[in-house]
Each structure stands twice: as structure tokens, then as C-alpha cells.
Amino acid sequence: MADLSAKMDAATLLPMPTTMVVCLLVNGLTSDNLTACLGQIKSGSKQIGTHARRELFWNAYNSMISEANKQAEGQKLYGFLTYTLPSKAEFIACTKRQKGLLGSTDFMGKKFKPEDNESKSEWCIVYFDDDKTDVNDAQAAFDDITTGEVMVYLSQDMDGVFVGTKLKRRKCRSAPSSPLKSPSDIATFKATLLPDKPLQSIDWTGKKPAKINDYNFVVAGSFHKSITEDDTIPHINTTSIDEIYTFFEAKRNVFLISEAEKLIASHLTDVGKGLANPLCNLGLKNAAIARRNALMKKCYICSSKKKFIDSVLGDDDNNIELIVINNASEASDFVKYGAVVFELHYRADLTVFG
């Protein structure tokens, strides 16, 4: 009985099947150099707390070393080397554009290099699952780098305007030489920040220059009191990228939930008027009917509805504007009404299509 309990305790510390355990971002290393770095990382995994997790990561790094050795000898590698349960290592090569991003964008994380390699431009960064949190750090890192939404932030302390996610960023221009002193100074300066002039693209899948919208602009670090005390200016007094991005995500959620609740209000108004077929509708079942019959125009949905989200994203001819909301407050009308609200292309009786 004691042995069974020990096995159960160990199992609770392991990631669930099919999850990514390790994500390695590789920039310009040959297979030999990458193998050497993996050896360093593997050696460090001896410090992991439990036998079960040490064994998991030992197997992961052995599989990744084997995959690294399959790559062409002497060829510089750019891309992701991942390990996913149950026991799969895979190298995902960068496109030409993505290779360029690795050389022109700052990526956050500890960089590993072979001990005899002094080049600053050749490195790898490891992101791995941490049993101390509920977050799958490997998958979160992969998602952040490949699909994370970009914010724009101005920091006088860091002397720059940056576009970035939690793990990648690019400086687009320097901060004004004279510190901004008033909300009007911020508004005037913000108006000069245009796509490509100077806001650049760090999008992983295509050239999409950053564009300031209703929620993605932040001022970070120390600013004049008149700016920090103005409620219309989103400000956080830090230069920590993690904290700035978390602040941006909270601000984005407030905005997106307010937009979702406008659709809920429209639905309730139509129902209150006795209209049989509201233009905006609620519920996962109705959303599935609308999607299958190409009736859905826009949908706000909680990130917990993963099966539906994956179905929409997997549609070959998907033309739905899908807005995924994380960590929505239980007190919000969005959650109270099921955390799914959508707009149709036209008024339709969904029961006919069901």
C-alpha cells in the first residue's frame, strides 16, 4: 500500500500525457554544439527534486540529443527542438523570416552556448515544465514566441519604445530626449507610433507590423507624477518584462470582456423585445451550430473551451473572428452567461440548423 501511495504521489508531479515538457529555442548552433548544450542542460537536471521528475527530464534530454544528432553535420540550426509526452522529440526548423527574427529580436531566458564557442549570435534557450505551478512553461513559451499577442510599451528608464510579448521584444526607437511631463505629451508622442514607422513586426508567421489599439499601449517605469496619476494612461512602475506583459494581459481582458458584454447586452435587448432570432447569441451548443453552418461572424469565448477553439482554428476555410479571453472574472456577466457569446452574419433561427 505504501508503494502504491508513493507511485501516486510521484505521478501527480508529472505533466499529463500529450503535453510539451521541454522547449528549446535554437539559434545558429550546429548539431555538435547543440548536443554539447543539451549535455550541460541535462547535467543541471540532476538537481530536480523527485526521482520521477529527474527520470522524466533525463529521458527527455536523451531523446532530444538523439534528435539533434540526426540533423545534418556542420549545418547551423535555427528553430525549436521540443520533447512532448509520450516520448517524442522533434526539431521544427525556422523559415527564412523566422531565422531573421532570431537575429534581430531579443528573446528572454538563459542562453546556453558550448564552452568553447565565444560567438554571441549562436545560442539556445531552454524552457521546461515546472511542477511548482499550474502553468506548462514549455508550451507557454512555445505559444508566446509563435502566437503571443504583441504589446507596445514606452519606457524612459529603458530609453525606448518596444514591441514585445513576454519572451520576445524589439526596440523600435529611443525614448524622447526630454522626459515627457504631461498626459498631452504622452498623447502627442503616442500619435507618432505608427505601423512600420517606427513599430516593427515581430510576428512569427508573417510580417504584421505592430499597431496601437484600445488596450495594447503601456507606459512603464518612472514618469512625471501628472502622467502616473492620470487614470486614462495605462502605467506600471517597473521595467520587468514579465510584470509589464502581465499588466497588459489584465488590461486586455478588461477591454475584451467589456466588448463581449456589449454583445450580451444586444442579445438581452433583442430577447426583451420579443425577437425570436437575436443577432447575437449565447452558449456553446448554439455556437457549435452557428460555426458548422457558417453563420458565425465574431465570437468571444473563454480559453477553457479548448475543444471549440481548436475546432474553429482547425477549419480550413475559417473566417470567424475568434477572440479568446483568459482568466475572466467569475463576477463578470461574460462568465455568468456561459463565457461564450457570438454575433451572426444575419438573424437566423439556430434551432432549424441544429
Mean pLDDT of the region 247-255: 95
pLDDT of residue 8 exceeding 50, the answer is: no
pLDDT of residue 132 exceeding 90, the answer is: no
What pTM was computed for the model? 0.85
Mean pLDDT of the region 252-263: 96
Extents of the domains making up the chain: 2-147, 151-239, 253-353
At residue 352's C-alpha, the angle toward residues 348 and 354, to 5°, is: 105
| pLDDT tens sequence across 9-22 | 333 444 444 589 99
Cell 549562436 locates to: 122
For the chain, what is the mean pLDDT? Answer: 91
| pLDDT tens sequence across 52-108 | 888 999 999 999 999 999 999 999 999 999 999 988 999 999 999 999 999 999 999
Cell 505592430 locates to: 210
Whole-angstrom distance, CA of residue 324 vs CA of residue 302: 6
Whole-angstrom distance, CA of residue 341 vs CA of residue 284: 8
**Phi, psi angles (nearest 5°) of residue 196:** 70, -10
CATH code of the region 253-353: 3.30.1330.30
C-alpha torsion sign, points 89, 92, 93, 98: negative
Whole-angstrom distance, CA of residue 104 vs CA of residue 55: 37
Mean pLDDT of the region 280-298: 96
* Per-residue b or e along 282-318, where b marks 16 or more CB atoms closer than 10 Å to that residue's CB: beeebbbbbbeeebbbbbbbbeebeebbeebeeeeee
Distances (CA, A) of 223 to 156, 158, 215, 230, 239: 7, 12, 19, 11, 12
Give the pLDDT of residue 2.
Answer: 40
**Percent of the chain whose predicted confidence (pLDDT) is above 90:** 80
Whole-angstrom distance, CA of residue 215 vs CA of residue 23: 30
pLDDT of residue 129 exceeding 70, the answer is: yes
Confidence of residue 135 (pLDDT cuts 50, 70, 90): low
Mean pLDDT of the region 284-300: 96
Edge-to-edge strand ranges of the sheet holding 106-107: 106-107, 168-173, 160-164, 151-155, 217-220, 235-236
Mean pLDDT of the region 209-238: 97
Burial class (CB in 10 A: 0-12, 13-18, 19+), 202: buried
| pLDDT tens sequence across 228-241 | 999 999 999 999 99
User: Quick one: angle between helices 31-44 and 51-69, nearest 10?
Assistant: 180
- Of the listed ranges 3-12, 33-42, 269-278, 295-304, the least confidently predicted one is 3-12
Give the pLDDT of residue 87.
Answer: 86
Give the pLDDT of residue 10.
Answer: 38
pLDDT of residue 3 exceeding 60, the answer is: no
Distances (CA, A) of 162 to 11, 172, 185, 278, 345: 42, 6, 18, 42, 37
Mean pLDDT of the region 293-311: 95
Give the pLDDT of residue 247.
Answer: 97
Burial class (CB in 10 A: 0-12, 13-18, 19+), 231: exposed
Mean pLDDT of the region 120-137: 77
Confidence of residue 6 (pLDDT cuts 50, 70, 90): very low
